[in-house]
A and B are shown apart, each in its own frame.
Chain A
Amino acid sequence: MISRRKSLQTIAAGFGAAIGSSMFPEISRAASAASSGGPKRVIFFMQNQGFDPATCIPVGMNSSGSLAKAVLPEPIAALEPFKDKLHIINGLHGKHTSPSHSAFFGALGGYRGSDGVPPSASTIDYELSKVLPETLLPHLCIGMDSMENMTAKPTVANLSARGAGKPIFMHSNPNHLYQMLYGGISQGDIRNQHEARSGMLDRIEKMAAAKGEALPMSDKQRYGEFVQGFNDMNGLRERLGNVSDHLKHFAPEVDERYTKPQFETDWHDTLLDLGISALKSGTTSVLTIGSGRGEIFGAWKGLGIEKQGHNLGHMEQPDNPIWVKIRQYNSRMLVKLMEELESVPEGSGTMMDNTLIVYTSNNADKQHTSGANWPVMLLGNCNGAFKTGCFTQLDGKRPINALYTSILRSTGVEVDRFNMTDKMAAKYDSGNGPLREVLA
């Protein structure tokens, strides 16, 4: 096992001052700083078509209480060994997000969203990526869909945003993502692609810089950001390349699932592997997983589910063999995430001790929904910052924005509301500040 401390030592020995903490700040912070509570990284797992509470709340559990003696329902039974890290929350709402047929950006933004509606503000995952310990690639979004959609439309943007009108694209082709993350340490075609793109970006940067020399002073700063953008793009590739020895320990094996996938779930799995590797290597602090990519379609043929897309959303989820399979698949992914992060020491514990996973749906509780109930599962207590091992039944009067406020608070951001004006809150939020039921 490669410990985080060992990783740092490897880097320091291999690259000395040329790399330094500024090149890989998160690793150095993680290695040197004692855990002080609150997450160092956050994962959002957004399954489309709704998250029916009956598929996660233990039978007979009608009010808030401990999960210790409860038996988790079949769809999420894989999480049974992780019950002490689990917090099932029922009774948040998203009525203001118009989640029927997906709230799109509104699911993570806490505002009205719909098909074709651009983001009206930044989303929580992006905001967290700005305040969590700095990493080379602070925010990584991956989107899982049918094979046809992932190949014909490898980059779509439906869930995350940097601000109003600023969508963030999801990566859906694992080959492209692998090339971006590990092109510098790969061989063959991927290596060639990586080098060609690096060379091209380098030239673009030089040309852009040359065209900026004659600019008036007032424009230089603004244009400088444009040139700096290439520097950042090149810098990311270069810095990832510079720590390639370190990354080698985390890079997944490229196998036929990448190049000759049998089902879309092969790509789902490889995308997850890449996401996990980015977290473990300290490259990323926020991972957003869009299963169904924020829309109301998607396919899981690798699970033996022949039906796909829209119809799945019309089905009742509880006791439905199709939905049991999809939710079980999600749960296995969550388990994999946790086990992988537990395998890496961090501070006096493991990476998982400093990680929060938010599992929910961009569709609230079902495809055609008013958003009156928006079930969520949290995994990870982040050194005691979050309450875990319990089920909480809320009264449906606090919005998902309050959950996002809670997570922001846990990272030290003093905020009472997230993306909700006082005027909207007067209508949609019975409280103010974080959810006391969530933060320890």
Chain B
Amino acid sequence: MKGQFRLNPPLGIRALVQTRKPKLEQRNERLRVNAPSSITVKDKFLSYCKFHRLRTMISCKSTFHPVTLAVTICYFLIPSVHSADDTYTPGQPVHGDFENFAVTFLENHCYECHDDESTKGDLNLLDLGPADETNAAVWKSVWAQVALGEMPPKKKDQPETIERLQFSDRIVDELKEVMKDKGGFHAHLDPHKGNFIDHNLLFGPLPEGIKLEPTSSPARIWRVTPQEHITRLNELINTEPAFDPEKPGVRTRGDVVPTNHGGELKLYFGTDRIIKWQGGTVAYATSVKSVPVVLASARHHGLENYPDFYTVNSAEATQILGMAENILRYMAYGPLSIANPEQITDDPNSYKMEGDIRGLPTALVYNTKVVRPLTPVYDLMKESEFTDERLRAAVDFLFEALTFRPPSTKESNDYLVMVKDTIAKIGREDGAFMGLSSIFLDRDALFRPELVETGKADEYGRIMLQDWELGLAVNHALRYIKPDQKLREAIVSGKMRTREDVNREITRMLADDAIRKPRILRFFRDFFDHDLGGYICKDEKALSATGVRSRGESHYRAMFDATASTDRLIELILEEDKNVLKELLTTQKVVATKNDNTYFGRKHTDEERKIAIAAKKKAQQEQEEKDAAELKTAKAELDELVAKAKENPDDKKLARTLVQKEKALQSLKKKIANAKKERNRGGGANVEVAEANLSGPKIYARVSRPSFGSGSMKPDRVLATAPEGERMGILTQPSWLVSHSDAMDNHAILRGRWVRERLLGGGVPDVPITVDAMLPDEPNTTLRSRMRVTREKYCWTCHEKMDPLGLPFEMYNHAGIFRTTELSEPVDTSGEIIDSGDPNLDGPVENALDMIQKLAESERVEQVFVRHAFRFWMGRNETLNDAPVLQEAHKAYRDNDGSMKALITSLVTSDAFLHRKAE
């Protein structure tokens, strides 16, 4: 059907318009004669065409009366507002020639400003031509402007809703068609374009003429994410602790494997058995065995896991094979696969490390306690002879561990044959490991299928997921590890086939804290993007000026800690499960490390800084004087002892005291020298920041396995209250603020865009390629001042959607520290909510706190949050057909006092989640 929209042969828009223009002028002229002045020509013309559609078609064949001819022309040029059954159904192809359709729309709504005479924005649409590879970017831009309602401009006549929707649909269809052999057109699938669907159509009444179809999602395969993959593999070699209700924040089985101290996602081998190592943190990091993540996630990031984003390429497959053999060997032999027998002992001193072996795997000592899971792979490899039974047990175990479902008989047989073949070729041990490694590359170990290959389609062509596909979809909605025993039993006993089955399981799992649900936290990471701070490369000088420690990796590590802290704060709010979004946006709670006293501190004003410097200098002087006095006393005591010792050379006790005093003196000298060195490096009290005093009960955050020796991330936190009047919710946490900053400064545009898209549900078109999106490099000038360039007319159309929403966050510097002044002047934190879609929200705001408070009260913001949750759990953007699902989900959330559990349950039991439709 798509093909029929193509012109064959293509005819340029300009040519088409030129041949039609006299007729149109004639048409307009004729209509103008009879039209009352208060009614526009277009209005009259459209209503006439709608009313007389059928009659004019008949008339067209029977007469050439001038008025009838004009109407006939009108019919063919005005978009087909209604399809054959007089309705517009989203997702259904619209019949008719695309080019005529497009030209008419452009002529009615666009050429006035974008033709030969008036090329506003340097765009002449007369030259555009039919969609093709070379002008696809312009067509995409036209689509974005029209879909977002940016064009035609507000002051101009607007197309009817259906006309706008059809035009958007038709451009997308056309671009998909012309780009199908050239990498495809996917922009409409991008989560950043999810808001291109008018929010009011999803949550408000639909205009007459729109008929929705019962919704479903496409049949598909869904590649596992890097985090899922590593967590799945981790299950094979590491035993994570069980959930402890007394320490609910500590990482346990079922939680995701987090990134390490440097932000890298790695699988660690045997770190839970290491009791000694030689060297420091870096030596440890090099000595331990780890393998980095293989599957990549290129997005940066937002909703980063739609099924159509990723595949597995040959480089990744090759690396998975190599990794698989390492894992299998560890499953079989534990640390013995990476260490010598003498390194495995409960007496660390019994293993002598000769010389400097820092950084080597031999520089580690492992205890003898077996803590890894002992699996059928272990059972197999400890046998001297392999039996078919043992081999099959290992195959079946691995298959289910990697794909989360048992193999079919054929799959089991195929892999068994493969393992036996490799054993026959290269011998027992190597052959078993090589053969078993193949299971790591099974399709279902890397992709989760939702193919509905069995099942009966309903009248709309939808098939409901069932059994393993449904069970694994529900499991995946919450979990990274395989289904728990109850869910597994439900699947194999045929009790995962109905909406009620899903409701039963999802309710059970949501109610049980011991069943870890990292996917929910992942949603909040995707929604807030608060986990990017450690990856924002900071200019050292600019970072130092913020008041945080800028040396080495200190700031980056603080940011990875901050991510874990914010994660934990989100979890605490989820535990309450009341008004979740509002709480997230307004909470005064802070999960903090010691470092956070700086990050949650307040930047000194110039005056305060002077006072702090003077106080520090004074304190240092006093310390130096104290040190000097202490040193003098110690020296005097030593001199006295030396003299005594000379007089009493045979006094052994005195001699021993002398040695002790000498050592103590050396130690004191060293301590004083180190303190002086630290002072010279700027250590001591922070003169830049009035540090916060974050205190409260001890809690825990989920952190990586020991990856950096004594410098590894620590789980210890306190649950504190933010300094009064300075913070409000996640958007004012340093983790979020730094994640939305750049090397040198705040990123008000990015922050504003986040608010526009994630809270207000608005869209911002892509930056035109002709725009050199650079702020002037003007040291000692505020960001607000440098952003004056975005207020130029051409830029402001888009920037007014972002900048006034981002600038209120200027109350923090780019390390997230609260400030009252900037460049010695009171900081300007004003902003404005413009054209939000909710008139109650629009208007100026004093600062970020004022703005956030307003947003947190908004029903529209809540609905936008629901839209994002929908995208995350369905793995796709919403369509108009999803409006009932969204409305129901929002209702469930509201009716249950802002419960995330209710929202998730509603989404996961919806048609969009349960039904699939093949193409």
Contacts and interface: CB of A to CB of B under 8 A. Distances in A.
Interface of A: 96, 98, 100-101, 111-112, 114-118, 120, 146, 148-149, 152-155, 157, 162-169, 189, 192-193, 195-197, 199-200, 203-204, 207-208, 211-212, 214-219, 221-223, 225-226, 228-233, 295-297, 299, 306-311, 422-424, 426-427
Contact of B453 (A197, A208, A214): A214
Which among A114, A221, A307, A424 has the greatest number of chain B C-beta atoms within 10 A? A114
A222 B435 CA distance: 26
Interface in B470-485: none
B39 interface: no
A218 B188 CA distance: 14
A169 B453 CA distance: 38
A114 B425 contact: no
A233 B446 CA distance: 17
B729 interface: no
B264 interface: yes
Interface stretch (B17-25, B204-212, B357-365, B852-860): B357-365
5 contacts: A100-B552, A148-B362, A200-B434, A229-B313, A310-B283
Interface in B338-375: 338-339, 355-362
A422 B774 contact: yes
Which among A114, A165, A426 has the greatest number of chain B C-beta atoms within 10 A? A165
Interface of B: 184, 218-221, 226, 260-266, 279, 282-283, 285-286, 289, 291-293, 296-298, 300, 307-308, 310-319, 322-323, 338-339, 355-362, 414, 418, 421-422, 425-426, 430-431, 434-435, 438, 441-444, 446-447, 451, 453, 535, 537, 539, 552-553, 556, 707-708, 742-744, 774, 777, 918-919
A215 B221 CA distance: 8
Contacts of B422: 196, 199-200
B356 A193 contact: no
Given A152-B289, A424-B743, A114 B553 contact: yes
Contacts of B918: 216
Contacts of B338: 152-153
Contacts of B317: 226, 229-230, 233
Contacts of A299: 360
B359 A111 contact: no
B359 A114 contact: no
B414 A203 contact: yes
A44 to B, nearest CB: 18
Nearest to A155: B322
A162 B441 CA distance: 21
Contacts of A230: 314, 317, 441
Nearest to A209: B443
Nearest to B283: A310
Given A111-B537, A196-B431, A219-B221, A118 B264 contact: yes
Contacts of A310: 279, 282-283, 356, 358-359
A215 B307 CA distance: 13
A10 B494 CA distance: 63
Contacts of A195: 425
Contact of B315 (A120, A168, A311): A168
Contacts of B308: 218-219, 222
Given A120-B535, A204-B441, A196 B426 contact: yes
B221 to A, nearest CB: 5
Nearest to B538: A112
Q: Which 10 A-B pairs give the minimum distances between C-beta atoms?
A: A116-B262, A297-B359, A229-B314, A196-B425, A232-B314, A152-B361, A112-B537, A117-B262, A225-B311, A211-B443
A223 B220 CA distance: 10
Contact of B360 (A98, A146, A215): A146
Contacts of A232: 314
Contacts of A96: 537, 539
A214 B425 contact: no
A155 B315 CA distance: 13
Contacts of A114: 262, 553, 556
A203 B434 CA distance: 13
Given A200-B418, A230-B314, A149 B919 contact: no
Given A167-B292, A169-B319, A229-B316, A192 B425 contact: yes
A111 B536 CA distance: 11
A210 to B, nearest CB: 9
Given A115-B282, A152-B339, 13 more contacts: A111-B537, A115-B285, A116-B260, A149-B286, A152-B289, A167-B292, A189-B426, A196-B431, A204-B438, A207-B443, A218-B919, A229-B317, A310-B283
Nearest to B421: A199
Given A115-B708, A310-B358, A422-B774, A226 B446 contact: yes
Contacts of B313: 225-226, 229
A423 B552 CA distance: 22
A306 B355 contact: yes
Contacts of B310: 222
Contacts of B919: 216-218
B286 A295 contact: yes
B443 A118 contact: no
A309 B438 contact: no
A217 to B, nearest CB: 5
A218 to B, nearest CB: 6
Given A297-B358, A427-B743, A166 B426 contact: no
A388 to B, nearest CB: 34
A196 B319 CA distance: 18
Contacts of B447: 223, 226
B438 A203 contact: yes
A353 to B, nearest CB: 31
Given A118-B265, A223-B221, A297 B360 contact: yes
Which among B318, B339, B552 has the greatest number of chain A C-beta atoms within 10 A? B318
A193 B315 CA distance: 20
Contacts of B316: 229
Contacts of A218: 218, 220, 308, 919
A164 B298 contact: yes
A46 B512 CA distance: 52
Contact of A309 (B218, B318, B360, B774): B360
A207 B774 contact: no
A117 B358 contact: no
B777 A426 contact: yes
A236 to B, nearest CB: 8
Contact of B289 (A153, A228, A427): A153
Contacts of B707: 116
Nearest to A428: B539
A218 B217 CA distance: 13
B283 A116 contact: no
Contacts of A426: 777
A291 to B, nearest CB: 14
A195 B424 CA distance: 11
Nearest to A96: B537
Contacts of B318: 233
A111 B918 CA distance: 44
A425 to B, nearest CB: 10
A307 B355 CA distance: 8
A111 B774 CA distance: 20
A307 B356 contact: yes
A423 B744 contact: yes
B442 A163 contact: no
A148 B338 CA distance: 9
A423 B742 contact: yes
Nearest to B541: A427
A199 B279 contact: no
B361 A148 contact: yes
Given A116-B261, A216-B919, A226-B311, A427 B421 contact: no
A169 to B, nearest CB: 6
Contact of B298 (A165, A211, A228): A165
B292 A309 contact: no
Contact of A296 (B282, B291, B319): B282
B312 A226 contact: yes
Contact of A308 (B226, B263, B356, B744): B356
